[in-house]
Every structure is written in C-alpha cells, then in structure tokens.
Amino acid sequence: MIKETKMIERELAIVKDLMDKRLQYIGFSSDRGKRRKIPIDFDGLLNALLAGAIPNLTARFKNVDTKEKSIEILLNYLLSAEISSSHFITLLQRKEAPNYHLKDYRFLKKDAKINLLKWILSFYYLDLKDDRKRNIVGVRTDYDVILNAIKDNFILRGGRYCFELHRGKVEINTGSGLKQYFIPHYPSSTYFSLLLLLTSLFEVLKIEEKNPNLLNLNIEILILKNSGGNKWSVVYHPMINIGYLYQLFFWNDEEYTTNLNAKFLVFLQSFNAPRLNNQNINDTYYSNLASFSYSLLVEGYLNIEKLSEIINEKISLELRAKRENKAHRFGSILFVDYVQQKLIGGESMDEKFENLRKQMQAIASKIGDLSTKGDTQRSLLKRIIMDVKSEDTQMGFTSAFLNYLPRLEREGVKVSLPPQINTLPIREFLIIKNEFVSNLWNKYIGGGGE
C-alpha cells in the first residue's frame, strides 16, 4: 500500500511538472481592463482540453494569486468525482485512449486518471489557425532519439510554453550548415504539416548521423479540430510506425542531393503553395495535400490519383500567383519520378512499362525545350501544360496532346504519342502523366529536368 501510494505521488509530481510547462499565471486583470474568469492562460493543447471546463472552475479560483495554487486547483478538479463529462474533452471517454478503458473518465480510479493526464499532457503540438478555424496537431513518442530531436530543433523558441512546435520557416544549425524548413500554418494542412515536420526531423537526424532504430519509430497522433466556441472534435491514431518512410527515403546516401537535401523532403516542400490574395484557395489546396499526406503517413501508400490532382492544382496556383504579383518566382515540382519509383516500383513496374516511362520523359524533355526559345514558343508550351494537366483519363489526355502535334511540328518538334498509353490501367497512366506534366512544368519555368 505504501509502495503504491509513493508511486501515485511520483506520477502526480510528473503531471504537476507537465502542467507547470503548459500554463502561465497572468492574474485577473486583462490588457483591456476587464476582469478575467480565471488567472491563468493555457498553451494551445491544454486550452483545447480544458476550454469546456472553464465555467465550472471560475469560483474555485477566487483570490488565487500564484501559479502553484492554480495548478493545485486544476488537478483537484481533474482528479475529483465532480468533473462533468460534458465539460471535458471527449477523447478521455473513448476506448482508443491508453489502456482501452471503457468507463467514463469521472469513474476512473485516481491512479488511472493520473496516468491518463500524464499521457495526454506529454503531446507536443502544432497550433494551426486562421480567422475561422483552429486545429491542434499533437504528436508524441516514447523513443528518446525522436524526442530529443524535437526538443533540440523544433520547439517554438521564445514562446511562453514548452510543448508548442515551430511552424512557418524553421532554421536549424546542423553542424554542417544552416538548414531551412517550412511548416504550413493552415488549419486544413494538418497531416501535410505533420508529415513535413517528421521528414524535416528525419533529415536532421541523418545529417547529424543519428540513424534511429526503425522498430522504435512509432508515434501517436492527436488532432483536435475547432470551428468556433469550446467544442472540439477529436481524431486519434494510437500507433503509427513511420520507420518505413525513414528506411525508404533517409537511410541511404543516394536518397540525398549533393547538398544533403533529402529528395523526398524536397518533393514534399515543392508542394507548398504560393501566397495568394484569396486565402480560401490556399486552404482548399492544403486540404487536398492533407488527404494525400494521410495516405502516406497513416495508411502507408502513395495515392497516385490524389497526387495527379495536387500537381494540377499546384501549377494553377503558381500561375495565379504570377498574375497577382509579377515578381513571384515560380516553384518547381521536383522528384515526382523518384518518389513514384520508390513507393510503387519494383515488380509492379515491368520492363515494358519502364520503357514507356522513359519514352514519355524523353518526349517531355523535347517539348520542354520550347522554353529556351521565344515568347511564342513558351506560350505554346504553357498551353500544352494547361490542357494536359487536368486530364485524368487516357482518352482525354491523348486527345488534348494530339491537338498540338501539327503546331509542334511547325516549331520543329517532331514527336509522336506511344499508342500503348491508351491501353494502360488508369493507375499506370497517372504515374506516367504525373511525371510528364511535372517535367514539362519544370522545363517551362527554367527548372530543367528532375
């Protein structure tokens, strides 16, 4: 009994320490001179967890004047039988939470409540928000190599809290030089932002020669979504093994460019959207990217159809950004062929299909040479890209392409479309189309081949 009591006290001390890192004592007076309901401010994740409980806590904070007392009041409430399920986070009542408990949080024993609080307060998080929506993207792991890499490189420096992760431009000194990464801040970008965070972390580990144990690369993902008010919806993924991504794209030296950029990370970063006047367009685009990233991160496969949509949309966004701002510099779409080969290559790509891929890449390169000629030829190349990029069937693609053959011949570009294109399964057709369009686009903007 004494041993059990000491264990509970030790775990409770850990929870208090986590609380201490996730809240600030700010007093009852606000900047506008109004009286606050409670004298503490929470970090983004803790605020999402406790937002609904605030009305129940107001009276308990009367005359509280320190951070320590505030933590005691919060914990007493969270560990009591008085806590209302209607005013607490839905996740803590779900069977997916640790130990797969089926009871209402209120009816758990004290040690089980402490264990649950310790777990949920150990999530690091990205706070993705705009004027209308806010998503908290939490990630946790018990693997020290990943934890230390997060703490050393991705914590929001100069922030008030210890668990909020950097978004936007992140600069990291790896010892071999300064590396720059970009994590989108859009609420709709959820899984894409998380995937960029994890792959940026992988690149840092590789550069610092800290190859992780692939079997230990398990993470938990917690996504809290809010569209206004104190109600948050919850998505929780108990165990995601991301070791396969590291093994495929970060383990070997050949997966990197000459300046130590991981090709897979360059591929992902090339899909970051240019800033547009209408942010709703960016929001919709990032929602598609999040869906694509969900397939990669959670389900472990490359969604070729979604990739085709994203390449199409990315090119449209780049052209729109140029119309809105003449100084905008076009962004390339890099390493599409490399990523497709790595994720769906091998036996699924037979020799005939490989030869067809190479034929189409050669055709794209030949047509792309129009970019080095006059404005008329560049305009022709742009029209070809615009017409073929949105075609998602063999017949539509072939028809759009054949329309330009006479004009291409007049410009001295003699090419013909291999007839096998029309008989390909849709998945193999989209693999070829994705590479063809991205290669044309890179030629058009002066990025060259991949």
Collapsed DSSP state (helix, strand, coil) of residue 65: coil
Q: What is the pLDDT of residue 319?
A: 97
- Cβ-in-10-Å burial (0-12, 13-18, 19+) of 303 comes to middle
Tell me how far apart the alpha carbons of residues 409 and 18 are, in angstroms, rounded to a whole number.
69
* Reported pTM: 0.92
Q: In this structure, is the dihedral angle defined by the CA atoms of residues 77, 25, 226 and 314, taken in order, positive or negative?
A: negative
- CB–CB of 386/311 below 8 Å? no
Distance CA 214, CA 243 (A): 5
Contact yes or no for 129/116 (Cβ under 8 A):
no
Residue 351: which residues within 8 A CB-CB, separation 6 or more?
Answer: none
Report angle CA 132, 138, 141 to the nearest 5 degrees.
175
Helices 2-22 and 67-78 pack at an angle, to 10 degrees, of 120
The reported pLDDT for the residue numbered 49 is: 82
Specify the pLDDT at position 87.
Answer: 52
Q: Which residue positions in the chain have pLDDT lower than 50?
A: 99-102, 447-450
Distance CA 116, CA 138 (A): 15
Residue at token pair 């990943």: 146
Q: Phi, psi at residue 171, to the nearest 5°?
A: -110, 130
Q: Which residues, in sequence order, are CB contacts of 149 under 8 Å at separation 6+?
A: 201, 204, 205, 210
Which residues 6+ apart lie within 8 Å of 255 measured at CB? Answer: 248, 249, 262, 263, 264
Phi (first) and psi of residue 257, to 5 degrees:
-80, 175
Q: Give the pLDDT confidence score for residue 71 in this predicted structure.
A: 94
pLDDT of residue 443: 96
Residue 101 pLDDT = 43
Digit-coded pLDDT (tens) for 382-412: 999 999 999 999 999 999 999 999 999 999 9
Q: Which residue has the tokens 């050949």?
A: 254
pLDDT digits (tens, 9 = 90+) for 102-115: 456 677 788 888 88
- List 28's β-bridge partners, or say none: none
Cβ contacts of 230 within 8 Å, gap of 6 or more: 51, 52, 54
